[in-house]
Every structure is written in C-alpha cells, then in structure tokens.
Structure 1
Amino acid sequence: MIKDFFIQKLYKRYYDRFSWYRIRSLQNKNFSIISNNCWGGQVYRSYGLPYTSPTVGLFIMPKDYIKFISDLPYYLEKDLKFIHRNQSKYRIYLEEHVDHNCPIGILEDIEIIFLHYTSENDAYNNWNRRKKRVNFENVLFKFNDQNLCTREDIEAFDLLNLKHKVCFTAQSFPELYSCIQIKQVQDRDFVPYYYEPIGRTSDFNVTEFINNMIRNV
C-alpha cells in the first residue's frame, strides 16, 4: 500500500530526527528487549544503543514466541540449528507472506524466521553473540497481534508471569492489562511493526515504560 510506504518513511525519519531527545530522556540504558518481530531493533536504534538481545531482524510466530519466552534461559542455552523452508511447520504461511528465502532457525521446537538475514552463517553468529548480552534482570517482553495471532495467544501472553511486558494490538482488550491498542490501525486485523510506537506516542510512552522497569524492580 502506498500509504504504508510513506508511513515507514515517516517512522524512520521520526526516530532519526528526535533520537537526541529520547537518548537524553532515557535513564534505563542496560535493558534487553525480547520481541516477536523487528520492533526491538528499531527501539535500540532509536536510542542509539547496542543490541542486547538476539531477537533483532527476525520474527517468531505467536505460539512459538509464547513458548520461547515462557522459558527464555532454557531456549537461549540451546544450539541454534537451521531447517529448509519446506521443513517449516509454517511453510504455507511463509510461502504466502515472505517473498524471499531467508534463514529459518530452530531451537528444539521453536522456529525463528530470520527475515532480514541473507545467510545462515550471519544469522547464527549474530544470534549467538547477542544472546550473551541479555540482561535477565532487566527484560522487556514485547508481543503483537500479527502473523496469525489469535485472541487465545494474546490471552496466553497476558497470563505469563513476566514483570515487564507489553502487547500492541489493533483491537481493544481492556480486560488484559498488558495490551495497548494502537488506534491508528483499529480498522486492521493486526498492527504492522512500523505502526508500533517508539519513544512517545499518543498510545504509549516507550521511554517512560523502559525507565519504569528499573524503578519497579
């Protein structure tokens, strides 16, 4: 969509233009974001921070993501292997939504779609280097409603015993405390990553949320 193309351009311009203000406002600078999509990498770049998470430039399907974060230390200890696209349990979805052959990693039963990588070697090296940087005492778990996400998935995420978590959704879920509706896309089925907030927006203040992670330990 033409509109989405310009939204993505504005998104990049926004975090580039106002990065000085976000960096100055950020007090909590040693945090890790475990995200189901590319949002974490965008946030690190918006603050001019290094990646202290392996979930950068990739996405994880909802049920796999929830299982992954339910026992994060366990899965991060597993050696990342790779499978062919035809072996993926999400083969049909990938054929319909991913227009190139990107690496598909696997941690036991968890599949990781390395969307923005061109080789398994790069994906493997970046994953292993960045997983060592995870600050398990200061983690933000972020989810959203894309990639075949169901209400049951959103409810399962909300029930997880994780201290700092947020889920961006197109629809309103007032009964679920971790859900933040992105009103710009309330007429859509899900929130595209470039509509997810960085810094401060009318829907959510990312800087404030990250700062509060060290105030509410």
Structure 2
Amino acid sequence: MNLDFLRSLKSKLQLRWHLHKNRKLTNREVTIISNNCIAGVIYHDCGLRFLSPTVNLWFQTEDFFTYAANILQYSPQQGAKLREIFEEGISYPLGLLTPKSADLPAIKLYFQHYPSFELAKKKWEGRSKRINFDNICLIFECSQPITGKSPIPKLFRQAPYSHKVIVTSKHSVTDTGTEVVHLPVYDLPGYQPGKLFTTRRKFSLSRWLDDFNYVEFLNRTRGKLLPAMLK
C-alpha cells in the first residue's frame, strides 16, 4: 500500500480522534503564548483558530521571555519590524523582530515549519493582530532538566501572566508555587527535542503530549496580562 496514503490516513484519523478527545474544551477563544510548537499542536488538536503568532516556530529562551513580557511592543500594530536574517546551520526561515522602542532588544524567530520567510512573516503579523488579551495564557516547554543555576525559574516567575505553566522533566528545579507539569517522555532513553509532539507508537493516534491535560488547563480560567503589561 502507498506510504503517502497511509500517512494521510493516519493524519486524518489522528485529527478526528483528538477532536473527539478534546470535545470538553469550552475555552475556545484563547491565546496561547508558547516558546515552541506546543501552542500550534494544541490549537490543531482542538480544532481552534490560531489566536497566537507563536505557531510553527521557536524562540531562544531569553528571547521568548523578553517577547512574552513585552508582547504589545513586539507587535506590528506598535511598529515592530520583522526582517529576514541568516544563521549558519539554519536551513529554514529565520527572522529578526525589532520593536520601535530602543529600550528593548531585537529578538530572533526561528520559523522551523514554514517553507519561506515571506509566508512566515505574513502569518506572524496576521496572527499577532488576533491576540485575545482578555483570554491569554503562557506555556513554556523545556525538554531538558532545569537546573538550580538556570535563569528559567526567575524568568518564568517574572512573566506577567495570571495563567501560566511549565511543561518539563521531573528532574527540573522550579520555584515553589510555580505550576509545573512533569511528563515522562522526557526521561525516555535517547529523548530528542520534538518527540513530545510525535505519536507514542507507529500505529498509535495518541501523542506523548497527551500526558499534559491541556484541556483542563485551558478551561480552568481565562487568563489576563498583569497590569504592568498593559501600560
């Protein structure tokens, strides 16, 4: 049997299964700000409109938290400019996002799942305008254990979102009071970044990501940006 046909069939069955599994999601107008593909996969598996620009891309850690903390200033509506740049070893589109304010640094956007920079820029700018500031949350995914010397706990704590979570290994060190989801996939032998978004077995429809009950997380509350963000 044709392999392309089998892949297409699995993809269609997987989407139908996830839509059924996630049918209890009631918070369907949510903006998910994430550091990598986790937002896009959740949107896709729940059959939601992409109300976030952080889809099909990834950020370096400090760039992500800078963006998340200053999301308005990095939006095209506020005059932020996105231009193509190039980096040795990166074969997919890469952009440099520069805010109008000289007080903030330019940050890199790694558009790993886009065929061209032109399309990536169009999607980024269009989805930036869809952000729902009355219903927003932050998900930070980190496959590597977070050590006590890492800046991540402090950066996450300072991220001015009322509803946020870290998805990471059980070996990570996090601040008391931080909402953390520990997933067993990170402790599998030979884990590679991205495995979280694959299916458990060749003929399985369930992703490793499904160990995170993101429907419960999204339904729990309609998150807000804290007041400092809205000035």
Decide: shared fold, TM above 0.5.
yes
The answer to whether the 8 Å contact 2:133/2:224 transfers is no
Secondary structure, counterpart of 1:104 in structure 2:
strand
Equivalent-residue separation in structure 2 for 1:121 and 1:140 (angstroms):
28
Query: How far does residue 148 in structure 1 lie from its aligned partner after superposition?
Result: 11
Q: How do residues 1-217 of structure 1 correspond to structure 2 at under 5 angstroms? A: 16-22=16-22, 24-76=23-75, 77-86=78-87, 91=88, 95=89, 98=90, 100-108=91-99, 109-145=106-142, 151-170=150-169, 171-173=171-173, 175-176=175-176, 177-186=178-187, 192-195=193-196, 201-202=210-211, 204-214=212-222
Query: How far does residue 173 in structure 1 lie from its aligned partner after superposition?
Result: 3.2
Task: Deviation per CA, 1:140-194: give whole Å up to 9, x if none.
Answer: 1111225998721243213323111111112233644132221221357987344
Secondary structure, counterpart of 2:219 in structure 1:
helix
Amino acid at match of 1:105: L
113 and 215 in structure 1: CA distance in 2 versus 1, 3 angstrom threshold: closer
Query: How far does residue 17 in structure 1 lie from its aligned partner after superposition?
Result: 1.6
Unaligned 5+ segments in structure 1 are 1-9
Larger Cα-atom Rg: 2
Q: Number of residue pairs matched?
A: 197
Amino acid at match of 2:162: K
TM-score normalized with structure 2 length:
0.71
16 and 123 in structure 1: CA distance in 2 versus 1, 3 angstrom threshold: same
189 and 19 in structure 1: CA distance in 2 versus 1, 3 angstrom threshold: same
53 and 190 in structure 1: CA distance in 2 versus 1, 3 angstrom threshold: farther
Fraction of identical pairs, as percent: 24
The answer to whether the 8 Å contact 1:173/1:181 transfers is no
TM-score normalized with structure 1 length:
0.75
Equivalent-residue separation in structure 2 for 1:152 and 1:185 (angstroms):
20
Amino acid at match of 2:41: Q
135 and 198 in structure 1: CA distance in 2 versus 1, 3 angstrom threshold: farther
Unaligned 5+ segments in structure 2 are 1-9, 100-105, 198-205, 226-231
11 and 194 in structure 1: CA distance in 2 versus 1, 3 angstrom threshold: farther
216 and 133 in structure 1: CA distance in 2 versus 1, 3 angstrom threshold: closer
More helix by share: 1
